[in-house]
Chains A and B, each alone.
Chain A
Amino acid sequence: MTLQPVLYSEWTKIRSVRSIVWALTVAAVLLIGFGSFACGAYGDGEAAQKDFDPLALAFWGVNFAQVAVAVFAMLAMGGEYDKGAIATSLTVVPQRARFYVGKLLVTSGLSLAVAIPATLITYFVAQGLLGEHGVSFGDPGTVRGVLSLIFYFPLLTLLCVGLAAIFRTLAATMGIFLPLLFLVSPLSMEVPSLRTVAQFLPDRAALYAAMNLHSNSDFVYDAWLGLPIMAVWTAALVFGGWYALRSRDA
């Protein structure tokens, strides 16, 4: 009745497919790379602006990294459905709850394991580059921002695994959700009439919490609430995925 063999198997599954490993690696590289680039190239110019926010500049790379994280999670779960490998997976682990929990734990665990060093490296590199314009952990907004970014990775991973379990095809999951995450959601923030609603979208809420030193007056809620809002979306999709996996033929 132990979960450990399933975790070991799921870990082997991810480790043995290059594209999945790469997606997570790329996420870390994008976060660190774009953050460092932004701070190095535009740090001084941005700091002169009156609405300058060092966290927004340092964590700018998350805009790109989040797509790689989503791809990682979708490949890990959607890949099961792509060629019908789910049948083999559920034949060796017919207890579907155990299979799903194993998948969720391994993917989100890996995501968290990458997010912690990637976020801290990004933070310290950015602080080094911004110098006097940077912030310190003494500022409560900094702690919230760093923690939100770290936990955004595993939460987004769980959300995407849930989505893939609901849609049950890799192509549909990616085709629908990636443009939503990458285009529709950020663009809708630029439309004033949509902004009030769009700020409750999972990625907007999490990024608001991660990339703002202070609460933003464009948002109707406090920045601390960003991550809990993301977590509610995640819970809903994880349960949706579980419902689909439990009730439908594999």
Chain B
Amino acid sequence: MATEKESLPQARIDVRDVTKRYGSTVAVNQLTFQVEPGRVTGFLGPNGAGKTTTMRMMLGLDRPSDGEVLINGRPYARIEEPLRHVGALLDPAAVHPGRRARDQLLVLARSNRIPDVRVDEMLDRVGLSSVTKRRIGGFSLGMRQRLGLAAALLGDPQVLILDEPLNGLDPEGIQWIRKLLRELAEDGRVVLASSHLMNEMAVTADHLVIIGRGRLLADVSMTEFSARYGRGRVRLRTTRPERLGKALAAEGLTLTAMNGGMWEVPEAQPDHIGAVAAREGVPLQELELYRDSLEEAFLRMTARSAEFTAAAGREALI
């Protein structure tokens, strides 16, 4: 059996039925999803949802208690010179503070036979070329993030696994990373970026993988997510709320008092409310549609998962 054909497999990340237990705590619970190339995938979940654990399992740092994670079809630990295939950004503070920025990248590059000249190119690309001789201990969080990204890009990898890449950046830095992630995805790379803030991802990601309590909550495109979860609410002002409330209740809607004399009807459309008011002869002084922000939708979804998980106990429910 001679040649195992070294055909370049399609770049992708496969999380297959992965569970991670720490003692009796289940950090990741039967998680399955794929990350496809050519788009930015936002990996979302509240703090403690299991995002970092999942990413560490992708990188072979933590071993799954069950299931497996494959990168381009094989476990990470079996990839030779992994920097050339996978770029990772984990905790940006996890560097020796006494080492100079350029030396830090040289250490990484040389372990994967990446030429030194590439180090200077990447320092330039992330905008750190003026501080290459400075010790990392004196770097701001933003500068460490940039250095971490330079490290991730060293080997020109097809797969990028970035844990909270927008964390600690100023607005200009956030803009810059967004643009970078978009470019990398447009090149046909796999780009997975985690965040605990929906707003960070709403304008960055094309696709979302949302987890809560270690379980998959959603694996949807950004467009689909906003359509499905960005629910409308109608806010209004009226002199006869009792009558309107009764009429809306008959339609299966609820009228709730807000402060400032405003009233709100969740999950409704203004034309519907207007028609009901006209039929009942209720005068309206204001009528306006509010869309939930995606952040609210995300919070609602993850909050429900928390209650749900608590109620369901240890019973596995998919």
Residues of A within 8 A of B (CB): 1, 5-6, 8-9, 12-13, 16-19, 79, 82-85, 87-88, 90-96, 249-250
Contacts beyond the supplied A5-B113, A250-B62: 7 A-B pairs with Cβ under 8 Å: A6-B111, A8-B110, A12-B103, A83-B93, A87-B94, A93-B111, A94-B77
Q: Given A90-B61, A94-B82, does the pair A5, B95 have CB atoms closer than 8 Å?
A: no
With both chains docked as a complex, state the minimum distance between the C-beta of B116 and any C-beta of chain A, in angstroms.
10
Selected contact of B83 from candidates A16, A18, A19, A92, CB within 8 Å: A92
The contact sample of 7 A-B pairs, CB cut-off 8 A, is A8-B110, A12-B106, A17-B99, A83-B93, A83-B97, A88-B94, A91-B88
Cα separation A85 to B96 with both chains bound (whole Å): 7
Complex interface: chain B residues within 8 A of A90 (CB): 60-61
Interchain CB contact under 8 A, B60 and A94: yes
B99 (CB) vs chain A CBs: closest residue: A16
**Is B183 part of the binding interface, using a Cβ–Cβ cutoff of 8 Å?**
no
**Is B47 part of the binding interface, using a Cβ–Cβ cutoff of 8 Å?**
no
B90 (CB) vs chain A CBs: closest residue: A87
> Which of B61, B91, B93, B100 is most buried by chain A, counting CB atoms within 10 A of its CB?
B61
Interface of B, secondary structure class, is loop
Q: Given A79-B96, A84-B93, does the pair A13, B107 have CB atoms closer than 8 Å?
A: yes
Near A by CB (< 8 A), chain B positions 90-128 give 90-91, 93-100, 103-104, 106-108, 110-113
**Is B76 part of the binding interface, using a Cβ–Cβ cutoff of 8 Å?**
yes
Interchain CB contact under 8 A, A92 and B112: yes
Complex interface: chain A residues within 8 A of B111 (CB): 5-6, 8-9, 92-93
Complex interface: chain A residues within 8 A of B104 (CB): 16
Complex interface: chain A residues within 8 A of B80 (CB): 1
Cα separation A248 to B151 with both chains bound (whole Å): 25
B75 (CB) vs chain A CBs: closest residue: A94
> Which of B93, B108, B112 is most buried by chain A, counting CB atoms within 10 A of its CB?
B108
Interchain CB contact under 8 A, A85 and B103: no
Interchain CB contact under 8 A, B96 and A94: no
Complex interface: chain A residues within 8 A of B77 (CB): 94-96
Complex interface: chain B residues within 8 A of A5 (CB): 81, 110-113
Complex interface: chain A residues within 8 A of B83 (CB): 92
With both chains docked as a complex, state the minimum distance between the C-beta of A170 and any C-beta of chain B, in angstroms.
11
Complex interface: chain B residues within 8 A of A91 (CB): 59-61, 82, 88, 90
A84 (CB) vs chain B CBs: closest residue: B94
Would you list the 3 A-B pairs with minimal beta carbon distance, nearest first?
A9-B111, A16-B103, A84-B94
Selected contact of B108 from candidates A82, A88, A250, CB within 8 Å: A88
Complex interface: chain A residues within 8 A of B113 (CB): 5
**Is B182 part of the binding interface, using a Cβ–Cβ cutoff of 8 Å?**
no
Interchain CB contact under 8 A, A9 and B108: yes
Complex interface: chain A residues within 8 A of B81 (CB): 5
Cα separation A243 to B113 with both chains bound (whole Å): 28
B94 (CB) vs chain A CBs: closest residue: A84
B95 (CB) vs chain A CBs: closest residue: A85
Cα separation A94 to B130 with both chains bound (whole Å): 31
Selected contact of A249 from candidates B63, B82, B98, B107, CB within 8 Å: B63
Complex interface: chain B residues within 8 A of A94 (CB): 59-60, 76-77, 79, 82
Complex interface: chain B residues within 8 A of A250 (CB): 56, 61-62
Complex interface: chain B residues within 8 A of A92 (CB): 82-83, 108, 111-112
Cα separation A94 to B85 with both chains bound (whole Å): 13
Selected contact of B96 from candidates A8, A83, A87, CB within 8 Å: A83
A interface footprint on B57-73 (CB within 8 Å = 1, 0 otherwise)? 00111110000000000
Interchain CB contact under 8 A, B56 and A87: yes
Cα separation A88 to B90 with both chains bound (whole Å): 8
Interchain CB contact under 8 A, B76 and A16: no
Selected contact of A83 from candidates B94, B112, B151, CB within 8 Å: B94
> Which of B60, B82, B96, B97 is most buried by chain A, counting CB atoms within 10 A of its CB?
B96
With both chains docked as a complex, state the minimum distance between the C-beta of B122 and any C-beta of chain A, in angstroms.
14
Cα separation A8 to B111 with both chains bound (whole Å): 7
Interchain CB contact under 8 A, A16 and B107: yes
With both chains docked as a complex, state the minimum distance between the C-beta of A6 and any C-beta of chain B, in angstroms.
6
Selected contact of B110 from candidates A9, A18, A82, CB within 8 Å: A9
Interchain CB contact under 8 A, B61 and A87: yes
Cα separation A9 to B56 with both chains bound (whole Å): 22
Cα separation A90 to B93 with both chains bound (whole Å): 16
With both chains docked as a complex, state the minimum distance between the C-beta of A127 and any C-beta of chain B, in angstroms.
39
Interchain CB contact under 8 A, A16 and B100: yes
Complex interface: chain B residues within 8 A of A6 (CB): 111
Complex interface: chain A residues within 8 A of B61 (CB): 87, 90-91, 249-250
A86 (CB) vs chain B CBs: closest residue: B94
Complex interface: chain A residues within 8 A of B63 (CB): 249
Cα separation A90 to B77 with both chains bound (whole Å): 9
Interchain CB contact under 8 A, B95 and A83: yes
Interchain CB contact under 8 A, A88 and B95: yes
With both chains docked as a complex, state the minimum distance between the C-beta of A84 and any C-beta of chain B, in angstroms.
4
With both chains docked as a complex, state the minimum distance between the C-beta of A75 and any C-beta of chain B, in angstroms.
10
Cα separation A90 to B81 with both chains bound (whole Å): 11
